[in-house]
Amino acid sequence: MALCASIAVGNAKAEEAVIYSYMRTSASNSSYMLMPQVVDVAPVAPAQIFDTLRRRKLPTYGATQYDEKKNAVSIDETKCSYSAIISAEIAESFLHHGFKLPKFSCRALSVDSGQGQLPHYVAVVPLWQALDPKFDAPEGSLVQIGDEYATMKSFRGRVAKRDKSVMQAIEVDLRTGAGFVRSGVMRGMIANGVAGAEKRIVKELESSDDVSVNAALEALLPLSGHKLDKTVVEKMGQIVEQSSPHQIGRATAALAATSKDLQFRALSVLFRSAGDAPFQLAQSSYAKLSSSQGADFFNIYGEKILTEAPASHVAAIAEAMHGSGQDMALERWLEASEATANAIAAATWLAENSQGTLLGTALSVLLESDDDVLPYDAWDRIVASDLSAAGKVRYMARGLNSPHALIRHWAYREIESSQVACSDVKLAIDRASRSGSVRYSGAYLPMIAALYGSQCKGDDVNGIEPVALRKRVQMAGSESIPSDMRLPGALLALARLDLVGAIEVFAKRAYDSDAAVRRDVAYGLRWIGENGDSLRASLLKDSDESVVLNVLWGLGQVAAEGVSVSMAKEIISRSKQSEELRIVGMQVMATKVSEKNGQTISTYISNEMFDASLAVKIAAIRALSAIAKSPADPLMRENALSSLALMAQDASSVVVFHTLRGLVEAQAPDIDSLLSSAQKAHPDVYRRIVRLRVR
């Protein structure tokens, strides 16, 4: 009778050994058999195994002795009746550890070893463990193959021949086994060189079960040191392309990064979850990918790599793509990207290392950065570029989505006042809208759309022909204003077309209950000129902040060179109620400085440079820099330069950067000494400013 049971038997530790003991296996005491047990033995040697067995069963063994030199066991003559048990326990225990079977005797008579005379357990090794060539199988253990059992030697021979029963059992384990079982089977298939193992394991990468995916990757990892089968690489590439980083995980990056196949190795950059080490291994492949092979690779994977690689590696990826002629792919990706860390990293590198439309696109992305320097630097470079007016408008449009109110204001001002074709402005609006969730531009895009949305159709504005507008203006004296006059942009169209009676309509609609109508009136006043000052002063007190912003935006475009002192004071008073109003108000007033209002405006802006808000400080510095560049009033310029010089000593490197930039642009006479001081206190700022002067 032979009973089989799976037992956890592996490579024994140095202090552990397995012995077999004849013991009870049922509650009724009717069933006994040889059972394996793990015990502590030091060292694991025949004499120590024998001593352990005898100590545990002295009543059975008595004075039984073991002669190590002769490898012989002399059973106590009073215990001869137990010779079958004693010899069976010693024989199975010795053989388990590979020791030679000893000779047994009792009363000088030879005794059979007892093997096969008593029921005993046999170690049954599961298929996944038997597939491991390094597994140290217990002596006499069997391998379970479906419903049958085979010796270890027989099993390994059948694996080599791809025996049908063995392959079916492998497939069952791959489909239904626990995670460690699937992993062991896949590793064993690779280790035993089973034909077609790679292709079969690659199929597991398509599994929705992360355990199967990781098991497959773990099995493929040993192959990464040499070139994988081409079909496996292609399949892996497809899976990589369709999978999310977290699903493939750390193992894929490690596998891909160490492969000798260049294309396969480069795939490792797709997995941000893998940490830095695999990406550092893959870094060396970027340079090689600048070849013709790289062009094909990046054409397929470039945008996915840029999106999913760690931000710290994006500059190197952008450099490799730029070097392999993939500028169009880079530009396409930047245009479609939100201002993510990856997009900003790529744009930062390209802003210093590219030209043409790719450079313009990179600078436009930087307008959306939340950095306190990059967006302003990018804006100034777009303004100073030799791009066409239409090109500048397209790139400036992303500034509408900048987290910096000052950049948003500049973008709106430049786009609104541009003389480019309607189609170019509409393209700019579309790009700004597509650059991500429109976080900040909600107040700007509708206004631009109202101004430009219909110019491509001809003379009509927002679908309303000038003749129809004139008829409605003639009705302005009545109590009922046509409902069409509430259409977005209709009032703006009325003012822009300079239709007679516009000011009367504006006067009535300035107090409309609909804030959208009041916003149109507030901005439409830009075409009314100085005659609209009384309405502006009234609307500056409006409870809706967007109405006040529209007054300021419109005022910035009024042809008049200055604003009255009373208007300046109204703007200052209202601007104090929000950060956005202060930022926009300072920029508008900086363009309206005159001999009469100069003292009022300059003093206000100079004081704002000391505001607690960094955004307000920057806006004030930029506004005062604009005043300092104006040669109209030498004294006003001198005062502005003196105020700016104070900020050059600020502890904040951001404040110092913007201050020195303004002083450089204003050609301050003491700029060299101020730069010398900055070189010691703020070396990074100094290097930036010097680079700007050279540029």
Confidence band for 152, pLDDT divided at 50, 70 and 90: confident
- Alpha-carbon gap, residue 296 to 283, rounded angstroms: 18
Q: Which residue has the tokens 């005898």?
A: 54
- Higher local confidence (pLDDT), 585 or 635: 585
277: three-class secondary structure by DSSP: helix
Confidence band for 212, pLDDT divided at 50, 70 and 90: confident
Write down the pLDDT at residue 347: 94
Write down the pLDDT at residue 694: 52
Confidence band for 463, pLDDT divided at 50, 70 and 90: very low
pLDDT at 556 over 50: yes
Write down the pLDDT at residue 547: 86
Confidence band for 1, pLDDT divided at 50, 70 and 90: very low
Quick one: 105 exposed, middle or buried, by C-beta within 10 A (0-12, 13-18, 19+)? Answer: middle
Q: Which stretch of 34-38, 81-85, 189-193, 470-474 has the lowest confidence by average pLDDT?
A: 470-474
Report the pLDDT averaged over residues 458-474.
Answer: 43
Write down the pLDDT at residue 449: 54
pLDDT at 331 over 80: yes
Report the pLDDT averaged over residues 681-691.
Answer: 79
304: three-class secondary structure by DSSP: helix
Q: Which stretch of 197-201, 489-493, 616-620 has the lowest confidence by average pLDDT?
A: 489-493
Write down the pLDDT at residue 238: 55
Write down the pLDDT at residue 455: 43
pLDDT at 590 over 60: yes
Write down the pLDDT at residue 523: 77
Select the highest-mean-pLDDT range: 31-40, 338-347, 444-453.
Answer: 338-347
Write down the pLDDT at residue 5: 39
- Higher local confidence (pLDDT), 327 or 42: 327
Percentages (nearest 5) of helix, strand, coil residues in the chain: 65, 5, 30
Write down the pLDDT at residue 236: 55
Largest interatomic CA distance in the chain: 138
Report the pLDDT averaged over residues 151-159.
Answer: 85
- Tell me the backbone φ, ψ of residue 25, rounded to 5 degrees: -125, 10
Phi-psi category of 62—alpha, beta or left, where left has phi over 0 and alpha has psi -120 to 50? left
Report the pLDDT averaged over residues 631-652.
Answer: 81
The whole-chain average pLDDT of the chain stands at 75
Q: Which stretch of 328-332, 459-463, 527-531 has the lowest confidence by average pLDDT?
A: 459-463
Write down the pLDDT at residue 486: 46
Q: Which stretch of 189-193, 441-445, 509-513, 583-587 has the lowest confidence by average pLDDT?
A: 441-445
Write down the pLDDT at residue 74: 93
Write down the pLDDT at residue 64: 94
- How large is the angle between the packed helices 579-590 and 598-608, nearest 10 degrees? 140
pLDDT at 57 over 50: yes
Confidence band for 447, pLDDT divided at 50, 70 and 90: low
- Alpha-carbon gap, residue 360 to 356, rounded angstroms: 6
pLDDT at 261 over 60: no
By the 8 A CB rule, do 197 and 215 touch? no
Indicate the DSSP class of residue 7. Answer: -
Write down the pLDDT at residue 474: 44
Select the highest-mean-pLDDT range: 377-391, 450-464, 522-536.
Answer: 377-391
Write down the pLDDT at residue 60: 92
pLDDT at 673 over 90: no
- Tell me the backbone φ, ψ of residue 461, rounded to 5 degrees: -125, 120
pLDDT tens-digit series, residues 333-355: 998 888 888 999 999 999 989 98
Which residues does 138 contact at the CB level (< 8 Å), separation at least 6? 9, 18, 96, 123, 125
Indicate the DSSP class of residue 28. Answer: T
Quick one: 361 exposed, middle or buried, by C-beta within 10 A (0-12, 13-18, 19+)? Answer: buried
Write down the pLDDT at residue 532: 79
